[in-house]
Amino acid sequence: MIDFLNALVLFANFVFVPGLAYGSQLALGALGITLLYSILRFANFAHGDLMAFGTMFVVLLTWWFQSLGLSLGPLPTALLALPIGVAITAVFALLTDRLVYQHYRKVKAPPIRMVMASVGVMFLMNAIVRFIIGPNDQNFFDGQRFLIKARAFKKATGLNEGLAIKASQMLTVVVAILLVAALFWFLNRTRTGKSMRAFSDNEDLALLSGISPQKVVMVTWIIAAGLATIAGTLYGLDKSFKPFTYFQLLLPMFAAAIVGGVGNPVGAILGGFVVAFSEVTVTYAYKKLFTYLAPQQWAPEGLMQLLSTDYKFAVSFIILVVVLLVRPTGLLKGKVI
């Protein structure tokens, strides 16, 4: 029985808790991608760098607040900076839409051209972020680091294995739940949300019934920018902020959106967790877990690790390819919103 509890705690500590936090971060990013896809009808390759851009402002504001002596006590100061960061990023996203994407909508360009334009925007944002904050690791976490410390957990329970829950992990999950709830309420209950869904279902019909396309596009960008900034900030608080890693997040986020079914918000969330948990479970070494669960004489010699951790990103690729081959619509039917 004790062995079983130990195994459970071990699994929670190294697989479940990190996977849950990472999955929530991916889900928020994938939601933005899916929304943009269903309303503006193109895959936004600049999303990873939009995250980096927003997070950069949050980091800068956090440093400023810290120097002023502002703080939220046990919570990270970054939460205070977040709303302003979201606002700045939203303005920036609207600006890129006005300067770049609006033109392609006006000439009714095929989606592939918008995708290529977004690649250009991606490089631009990439450069701006590196220009302002530099390519290095930045740490902006403050406040209380742990909810449960591994050592304290061991002492309290008497188990062999410790369970650590970082405040940033808890924060990520809570914020993600609140945000997703708010988003679904918005899409299903408000007039603007309903007009967005109508617009994504059938653009011409929506136009005929008097829905303003400008407004729908604007609201979509604001929501996507907000989600990206919040996801980026949570990721940065939990791990660390480095522009290049945000660029790399693009792949798992796209994998998440496609696995769940592009254009389907529930799918994006599901996809985020599928990708996150696949990455963590496939690269985890199960030797210790197995030793707890199986009889002594079965103890394995090897590490029981399917893939070396070096191949973590390959997992997103494999999932992406398999889903596109076997079930191109994604797990949940990718019907638009």
Partner 1 sequence: MKKFLLASTIMAGLTGAAFADGHELKMGVILGFTGPIESLTPDMASAAELAMKETAGEVLDGKTIVSVRGDSTCTDAAAATAAAERLITSDGVVGIMGADCSGVTTAIANNVGIPNGVVMVSPSATSPALSTIEDKGFFFRTAPSDARQGQVLADILKDKGITNVAVTFTNNDYGKGLEASFKAAFEASGGKVAISAAHEDGKADYSAEVGALAAAGAEHLAVFGYVDQGGKGIIQTSLDTGAFEKFILADGMIGESLIAAIGEDLNGTIGTLPGSESAGAAKFKEVASAAGLAKNDGPFMPESYDAAALMILAMQAAGSSDRAAIQSNMMGVANAPGEKILPGELVKALGILKSGGQVDYEGASNVTFTDVGEAAGSYKELVVKGGKFETVKIR
Binder among 16, 63, 184, 244 for partner 1 (CB under 8 A): 244
- 77-81 LR contacts (CB < 8 Å, sep 24+): 77/140, 77/142, 77/143, 78/140, 78/141, 78/233, 78/236, 78/237, 79/171, 81/57
Q: Among 42, 55, 89, 166, indicate the residue that binds partner 1 (CB under 8 A).
A: 166
Tell me how far, at minimum, the Cβ of 229 lies from partner 1, in Å.
Answer: 17
Question: Cα-atom radius of gyration of the chain, to the nearest Å?
Answer: 21
**In terms of CB distance, is 151 or 215 closer to partner 1?**
151
Q: Counting contacts by CB under 8 A, is residue 14 touching partner 1?
A: yes
Nearest residue (CB) to partner 1, 141 versus 199:
141
Q: Residue from 30, 219, 288, 330 that binds partner 1 (CB under 8 A)?
A: 288
With binding defined as CB under 8 A, does residue 141 bind partner 1? no
Choice between 149 and 194, CB closer to partner 1 = 149
H helical segments located in the chain: 2-11, 17-40, 47-68, 78-96, 102-106, 111-133, 150-157, 167-189, 191-201, 203-208, 213-238, 243-260, 265-283, 287-293, 312-326
Nearest-angstrom CA–CA distance, 196 and 337: 9
Q: Is 164 in the site for partner 1 (CB under 8 A)?
A: yes
Beta carbon of residue 53, minimum distance to partner 1 (angstroms, whole number): 17
Beta bridge partners of 149: none
Amino acid at 255: A
Residues that bind partner 1 (CB under 8 A): 13-15, 18, 22, 137, 145-146, 149-151, 153-154, 162-164, 166, 235, 239-242, 244-245, 279-280, 283-289, 291, 303-305, 308-310, 312
